[in-house]
RNA sequence: GGCGGGAUGGCAGAAUGGCUAUGCAGCGGAUUGCAAAUCCGUGUAUCUCGGUUCGACUCCGGGUCCCGCCUCCA
């Protein structure tokens, strides 16, 4: 039985899909005006793992995963103006970049990736319904606002009281709003802004409404899981609930999942603080799988501190796993033993990836123990390690490729050919028992980041 | 100010009312021409003060500190 921590109830609860034949999950994706940073990588990877696990439990054909793209908003418009390019051009570029980054990180593509600009009709219809139902009003400045007072449960997800929110010093007073907590559904276009026609004049959607319109369109009014970063809990997801429930008259989402932040020096990594590292920056130095491993070492709801030291640590750990699966031909057999159960128990406990990874290390240790005495048994365990690893998107590569840094984007230093040439020279020195020369060559390579391992009469190598 | 989350060994990071997390690093041993890798062994911990309990790191209460949301943000 799969248990998940539902942010709506703030409790771990048994996950019961509305329809086990079609488990439906929507995750808030990126606003595409810049490259994705490590915080975005975390959402991508965390929900990828959740998606993988749901597919394992309910079957590949029985899970629908939607991750949207916000391709129109103030920042996009501002950035496009700065760059003197069309906003479409800007967003296309960054959508492509996002796909490149996600693919490198081993993130399975969602079933659909709806974009706000493609769903204008649905967005406008939903706003119309809200206005007609008395949940929204057109203000005299041309904007349309959601009337928060019309929705009794407002604040449930974020645990906020409307009174407290109003008392909060940071709620700006906007003349056009009837209540400072009301939020915009439709923004009237200013001069030279991209706009769409609507019953309220030219304009564009507010941020929250696109997710309500697209999620219900793609998944139905009432679906299983809605996810995103913790910073979206309020106001974004709170507002989505208000909009969707008011528009459809039905329950919206059963389970809300939010991943914790990536931090730098104990501070949230964010665009506004400017303390972010883009995925592509980091991938210049570390293999994508190292980044993925790093993200999965901690529980998805915990904060995750980013630093080179932690990535180095992740690389060493992953090296241990790849070293264990090296040199054994894994048969295509499903292995089911105590490790499988341990692993599943961990994953079914609100996707406890750190505990699941611990199981991978236990398997690795067992492989190493058995490798000489019982190679067939060891090979079976290699299959298992890879099968379980596939649920996390880890240890799926060719071991030599990982260990020799072939899947790292930037390769510097010696080429494989150089390395093999030096190894050959050293072989001769070793045959001659010229240990001084042999050690000199090895030290030489080590100084260039190449580590040699002599075992079983042959020499293998890896990049440090 | 309101609301919420958290404090675990050198570092990272899980779990648990009594029993080994795991990884990285360290130390000792085996192995190796020497290494590397691997295996075996090993040390170091639960912020603080009270309470409940046969027993708490785990439950309850006070305190200290950190972080987040309340404004765009994954």
Using DSSP, state whether A459 is helix, strand or coil. strand
Show the CA angle centred on residue A50, arms to residues A48 and A51, nearest 5°: 60
A166 touches strand B (CB under 7 A): no
A428 touches strand B (CB under 7 A): no
CA of A36 to C1' of B63 (A): 42
Between CA A211 and CA A31 the distance in angstroms is 12
User: Among residues A401, A396, A373, which one has the least CA distance to residue A383?
Assistant: A396
Flag residues 321-350 of A with CB < 7 Å from strand B. 323-324, 349
Flag residues 223-262 of A with CB < 7 Å from strand B. 228-236, 259-262
Residue A351 token pair: 């996707």
Across all strands, nucleotide nearest A28 (CA–C1'): B74
pLDDT for the residue numbered A42: 97
Q: Report domain extents, chain A.
A: 16-263, 308-403, 416-463
Across all strands, nucleotide nearest A270 (CA–C1'): B73
A75 touches strand B (CB under 7 A): yes
Per CATH, the architecture of A16-263 is what? Answer: 3-Layer(aba) Sandwich (3.40)
User: Among residues A106, A95, A49, A48, which one has the least CA distance to residue A72?
Assistant: A95
Flag residues 94-153 of A with CB < 7 Å from strand B. none
Between CA A361 and CA A376 the distance in angstroms is 19
Q: For residue A451, what is the enclosing H or E element?
A: strand A450-455
Q: For residue A369, what is the enclosing H or E element?
A: helix A353-370
CA of A294 to C1' of B4 (A): 26
Q: What is the pLDDT along chain A (464 residues), one digit of tens a residue?
A: 999 999 999 989 999 999 999 999 999 999 999 999 999 999 999 999 999 999 999 999 999 999 999 999 999 999 999 999 999 999 999 999 999 999 999 999 999 999 999 999 999 999 999 999 999 999 999 999 999 999 999 999 998 888 888 876 555 566 789 998 999 999 999 999 999 999 999 999 999 999 999 999 999 999 999 999 999 999 999 999 999 999 999 999 999 999 999 999 889 999 888 899 999 999 999 999 999 999 999 999 999 999 999 999 999 999 999 999 999 989 989 999 999 999 999 999 999 999 999 999 999 999 999 999 899 999 999 999 999 999 999 999 999 999 999 888 776 778 899 999 999 999 999 999 999 999 999 999 999 999 999 987 899 999 99
pLDDT for the residue numbered A168: 62
CATH topology of domain A308-403: 1.20.120
CA of A348 to C1' of B14 (A): 14
User: Among residues A109, A110, A95, A123, which one has the least CA distance to residue A214?
Assistant: A123
A187 touches strand B (CB under 7 A): no
Between CA A431 and CA A457 the distance in angstroms is 11
Residue A425 token pair: 């020279």
Task: Identify the DSSP state of A15.
Answer: -
Between CA A403 and CA A414 the distance in angstroms is 15
Between CA A53 and CA A392 the distance in angstroms is 8
Q: For residue A344, what is the enclosing H or E element?
A: helix A338-348
Between CA A272 and CA A262 the distance in angstroms is 14
Across all strands, nucleotide nearest A305 (CA–C1'): B12
Between CA A396 and CA A388 the distance in angstroms is 10
User: Among residues A233, A230, A239, which one has the least CA distance to residue A184?
Assistant: A239
A453 touches strand B (CB under 7 A): yes
Between CA A298 and CA A302 the distance in angstroms is 7
Length of chain A: 464
A156 touches strand B (CB under 7 A): no
Q: For residue A392, what is the enclosing H or E element?
A: helix A375-392
Between CA A142 and CA A186 the distance in angstroms is 8
A235 preceded by a cis bond (ω within 30 of 0): yes
A382 touches strand B (CB under 7 A): no
CA of A89 to C1' of B71 (A): 28
């Amino acid at each position: 039985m799969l248990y998940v921590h539902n942010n709506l109830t703030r409790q771990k609860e048994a996950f019961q899909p509305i329809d086990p034949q079609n488990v439906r999950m929507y995750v808030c994706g990126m606003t595409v005006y810049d490259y994705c940073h490590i915080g975005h990588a975390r959402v991508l990877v965390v929900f990828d793992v959740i998606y993988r696990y749901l597919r394992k439990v309910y079957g590949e054909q029985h899970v629908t995963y939607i991750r949207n793209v916000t391709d129109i908003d103030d920042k996009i418009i501002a950035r496009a103006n700065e760059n003197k390019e069309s906003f479409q051009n800007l967003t296309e570029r960054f959508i492509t970049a996002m796909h490149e980054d996600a693919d490198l990180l081993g993130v399975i593509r969602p079933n659909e990736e709806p974009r706000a600009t493609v769903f204008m009709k649905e967005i406008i219809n939903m706003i119309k319904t809200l206005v007609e139902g008395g949940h929204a009003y057109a203000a005299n400045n041309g904007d349309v606002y959601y009337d928060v007072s019309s929705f009794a449960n407002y604040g449930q997800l974020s645990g906020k009281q409307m009174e407290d929110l109003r008392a909060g010093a940071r709620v700006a007073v906007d003349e056009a709003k009837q209540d400072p907590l009301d939020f915009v559904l439709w923004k009237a276009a200013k001069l030279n802004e991209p706009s769409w026609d609507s019953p309220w004049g030219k304009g564009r959607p507010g941020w929250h409404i696109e997710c309500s319109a697209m999620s219900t369109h793609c998944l139905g009014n009432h679906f299983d899981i809605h996810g995103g970063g913790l910073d979206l809990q309020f106001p974004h997801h709170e507002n989505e609930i208000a909009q969707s429930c008011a528009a459809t008259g039905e329950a919206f989402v059963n389970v809300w999942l939010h991943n914790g932040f990536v931090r730098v020096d104990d501070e949230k990594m964010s665009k506004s603080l400017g303390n972010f590292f883009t995925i592509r920056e980091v991938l210049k130095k570390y293999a994508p799988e190292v980044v993925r491993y790093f993200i999965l070492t901690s529980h998805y709801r915990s904060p995750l501190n980013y630093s080179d030291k932690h990535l180095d640590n992740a690389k060493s750990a992953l090296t241990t796993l790849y070293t264990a699966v090296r040199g054994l031909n894994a048969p295509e057999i499903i292995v089911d033993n105590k490790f499988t159960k341990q692993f599943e128990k961990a994953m079914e406990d609100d996707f406890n990836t750190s505990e699941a990874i611990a199981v991978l290390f236990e398997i690795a240790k067992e492989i190493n123990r058995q490798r000489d005495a019982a190679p067939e048994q060891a090979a079976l365990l290699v299959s298992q390690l890879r099968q379980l690893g596939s649920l996390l998107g880890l240890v799926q590569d060719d071991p030599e490729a990982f260990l020799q840094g072939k899947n790292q984007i930037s390769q510097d230093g010696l080429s494989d050919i150089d390395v093999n040439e030096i190894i050959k020279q050293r072989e001769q020195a070793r045959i001659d028992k010229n240990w001084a020369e042999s050690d000199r060559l090895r030290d030489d390579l080590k100084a260039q980041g190449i580590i040699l391992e002599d075992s079983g009469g042959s020499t293998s190598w890896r990049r440090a």
